[in-house]
Structure 1
Amino acid sequence: MKLTATILSVVAAASLVSAGTFHPHKINPHDTISNGYIIQYDDNVNHAQAQNSLKSHKVDFKVRNQYNVFNGAAVTVKSGHKGEELAKLPGVKNVWPITLYSIPKLQKSNMKSNDPAAASLHTMTGVDIVHKKYKLTGKGVKVGVIDTGIDYKHPSFAVPGAKEGCFARYGKNCRVKYGWDFVGDDYTGEDPKPDSDPRDCGGHGTHVAGILGGGAVDSKTSPKPPQPFVGVAPEVTFGAYRIFGCKGSAGDDVILAAMELAFNDGMDVINMSLGGGSAYKNNPISILGDKLIAHGMALVASAGNAGSDGAWMVSDAGLGDLASSIASFDNIYGIYDSVSYGGAAHPYSPSENYNNRIDLPASATLVPIFEKDGSLSDGCDPNIYKSTDVKGKVVLVFGDLTRCKSGARGVNAKDAGAAGILVQTTPFGLAGLAGNPGFPMGSIENKAGNDMLAAWKKDPKTRLVWSKKPSNFLIEGGGAPSDFSSFGLDGDLRSKPDFAGPGGNILSAFPLAKGGYAILSGTSMSSPYVAGAHALYIQAKKSKPRGDKLRQIFKNTATIASNFGSKTKASAAKQGAGLINVLSAITTKTSIFPDHIDLLDSTHFKKTVKISIKNEGKHTETYTLSHIPADTLNSYPNKNTFPLGTPVIEAAYATVKFSVDKVKIPAGKTAKITLTFKEPKKGDASEFPLYSGYVVATPKTKGGVAVHVPYTGVKGDIAKVPIFDTDSGLPLLLAYDGDDSLEDVTPDYQFNLSSTKLPAILTRLGSHTPEFSIRIFDDKKNFVGYAHSANRGQSFGWLGRDPTYNDDGSLYFNAWIWDGMYTKTMDPSETPVLVSKHGVYNLVVAAQHKLSKGAYPKDFETHEFSNPIVITGQQK
Structure 2
Amino acid sequence: MSLIHIGRNIFTVFVLFNFAATTIFIVEAVNAIPRSYIVEYEHNSGGSNYHHNAVNQELEQYNDLYKVKHVYSSPIFNGMSVTLNDNHTKQLQQHSAVSSIASTLAKSNDHHHPVFSQLRSHPVVKHIYPIYEVPRPQWKANQEDISLPYLGRDSQVNDIHSKLGLTGKDVLIGVLDSGVDYYHPALGGGFGEDHKIKLGKNLVSAEDDQENGVEPLGENDPYDPCRNNDAGHGTHVAGVIAGYYPEKNFVGIAPNASLGVFRIFGCEGGATEDTVIKAMEMAYKAGCKVINLSLGIENSWPEDAMSVVAERLSNQGVVVVGVAGNQGENGVYSQNSPATARSVISVASVDNSFVYSNVISFDFINDEYFSFATSTTTDGFPNGTIATITENGQVPFGCMSDTSITTNSAQGKILLVRRGACTFREKVEKAQSVGAIGVLFYDPNAQDKSVPIADTEGTDLPFAGIDSQLAGRLAERMTQESEGIQVIIPAEKQIVVPPRAGKISGFSSTGPNYELDLKPSITGIGGSVYSTLPLGVNDGWGVRSGTSMASPQVAGSAALLIEYQKLQQLNYTSHYIIEQLQNHGKLIAAEDGRLEHPVVQGAGLVQRK
Q: Residue 239 of structure 1 is aligned with which of 260, 285, 291?
A: 260
Aligned residue identity for 1:35: R
Aligned equivalent of 2:241: 212
Change (3 A) 1:118 1:550: closer
Q: Which moved more, 1:251-260 or 1:476-485?
A: 476-485
Aligned residue identity for 1:272: L
Change (3 A) 1:107 1:544: farther
Structure 1 residue 151: Cα displacement: 1.3
Change (3 A) 1:303 1:387: same
Q: Give secondary structure in 1 for the equivalent of 2:271.
A: strand
Aligned equivalent of 2:154: 124
Aligned equivalent of 1:576: 602
Aligned residue identity for 1:336: N
Aligned residue identity for 2:254: A
Change (3 A) 1:421 1:398: same
Change (3 A) 1:58 1:539: closer
Aligned equivalent of 1:555: 582
Q: Give secondary structure in 2 for the equivalent of 1:38.
A: strand
Structure 1 residue 468: Cα displacement: 3.6
Aligned equivalent of 2:442: 423
Aligned equivalent of 1:648: none
Aligned equivalent of 2:40: 40
Identity %: 26
Distance 1:166 1:242 in 2: 16
Q: CA RMSD in A?
A: 3.3
Change (3 A) 1:126 1:417: closer
Aligned equivalent of 2:145: 112
Contact 1:296–1:546 (Cα < 8 Å) also in 2: yes
Distance 1:71 1:531 in 2: 26
Q: Give secondary structure in 2 for the equivalent of 1:46.
A: helix
Aligned equivalent of 1:71: 78
Structure 1 residue 93: Cα displacement: 4.2
Contact 1:119–1:507 (Cα < 8 Å) also in 2: no
Aligned residue identity for 1:414: V
Change (3 A) 1:551 1:151: same
Aligned residue identity for 2:598: A
Q: Give secondary structure in 2 for the equivalent of 1:574.
A: helix
Q: Residue 534 of structure 2 is aligned with which of 491, 511, 525?
A: 511
Distance 1:20 1:366 in 2: 72
Structure 1 residue 261: Cα displacement: 0.2
Aligned residue identity for 2:26: H
Aligned residue identity for 1:420: V
Aligned residue identity for 2:339: G
Aligned equivalent of 2:472: 450
Aligned residue identity for 2:151: L
Distance 1:369 1:38 in 2: 65
Equivalences for residues 83-162 of structure 1 within 5 A: 83-85=110-112, 86=116, 89-91=120-122, 92-112=125-145, 117-158=147-188
Aligned residue identity for 1:62: K
Distance 2:64 2:262 in 1: 32
Aligned residue identity for 2:606: I
Distance 1:303 1:197 in 2: 29
Contact 1:350–1:440 (Cα < 8 Å) also in 2: no
Q: How many equivalent pairs are there?
A: 530
Identify unmatched segments of 5+ residues in structure 1. Answer: 1-14, 159-164, 220-226, 584-876
Structure 1 residue 448: Cα displacement: 1.7
Aligned residue identity for 1:523: T
Equivalences for residues 791-830 of structure 1 within 5 A: none
Is residue 511 of structure 2 the alignment partner of residue 488 of structure 1? yes
Structure 1 residue 207: Cα displacement: 0.9
Aligned equivalent of 2:97: none
Is residue 546 of structure 2 the alignment partner of residue 522 of structure 1? yes
Contact 1:498–1:576 (Cα < 8 Å) also in 2: yes
Aligned equivalent of 2:7: none
Distance 1:350 1:124 in 2: 25
Q: Give secondary structure in 2 for the equivalent of 1:454.
A: helix
Aligned residue identity for 2:23: G
- Structure with the higher fraction of residues in strand conformation: 1
Q: Give secondary structure in 2 for the equivalent of 1:553.
A: helix
Distance 2:110 2:389 in 1: 60
Aligned equivalent of 2:96: none
Structure 1 residue 79: Cα displacement: 4.2
Aligned equivalent of 2:485: 463
Aligned residue identity for 1:38: I
Aligned equivalent of 1:806: none
Is residue 274 of structure 2 the alignment partner of residue 253 of structure 1? yes
Structure 1 residue 214: Cα displacement: 1.0
Change (3 A) 1:415 1:140: same
Change (3 A) 1:240 1:16: farther
Structure 1 residue 281: Cα displacement: 2.0
1:536-558 CA-to-partner distances (Å, cap 9, x unmatched) read 10111115633332111111111
Equivalences for residues 321-720 of structure 1 within 5 A: 321-334=342-355, 335-340=357-362, 343=365, 345=368, 347-351=370-374, 353-359=376-382, 361-362=384-385, 364-365=386-387, 386-387=401-402, 389-390=404-405, 392=410, 394-398=415-419, 409-417=423-431, 419-424=438-443, 425-431=446-452, 433-436=454-457, 437-458=459-480, 462-469=484-491, 470-514=493-537, 515-542=539-566, 543=570, 545-563=572-590, 566-583=592-609
1:283-303 CA-to-partner distances (Å, cap 9, x unmatched) read 111110001111111100111
Q: Give secondary structure in 2 for the equivalent of 1:513.
A: coil
Structure 1 residue 212: Cα displacement: 0.3
Contact 1:189–1:251 (Cα < 8 Å) also in 2: no
Q: Residue 21 of structure 1 is aligned with which of 16, 24, 29?
A: 24
Contact 2:378–2:461 (Cα < 8 Å) also in 1: no
Aligned equivalent of 2:232: 203
Contact 2:375–2:464 (Cα < 8 Å) also in 1: no
Aligned equivalent of 1:874: none
Q: Give secondary structure in 1 for the equivalent of 2:37.
A: strand
Higher RCO, Cα 8 Å, sep 6+: 2
Change (3 A) 1:446 1:189: farther
Contact 2:148–2:531 (Cα < 8 Å) also in 1: no
Change (3 A) 1:53 1:546: farther
Aligned equivalent of 2:435: none
Aligned residue identity for 2:145: K
Distance 1:276 1:367 in 2: 50
Contact 2:182–2:223 (Cα < 8 Å) also in 1: yes
Change (3 A) 1:354 1:368: farther
Aligned residue identity for 2:430: A
Structure 1 residue 204: Cα displacement: 0.8
Structure 1 residue 270: Cα displacement: 0.3
Change (3 A) 1:451 1:493: farther
Aligned residue identity for 2:36: G
Aligned equivalent of 2:91: none
Change (3 A) 1:278 1:32: closer
Structure 1 residue 148: Cα displacement: 0.8
Q: Residue 301 of structure 2 is aligned with which of 266, 270, 280?
A: 280
Structure 1 residue 458: Cα displacement: 4.8
So what's the TM-score if we normalise by structure 1? Answer: 0.56
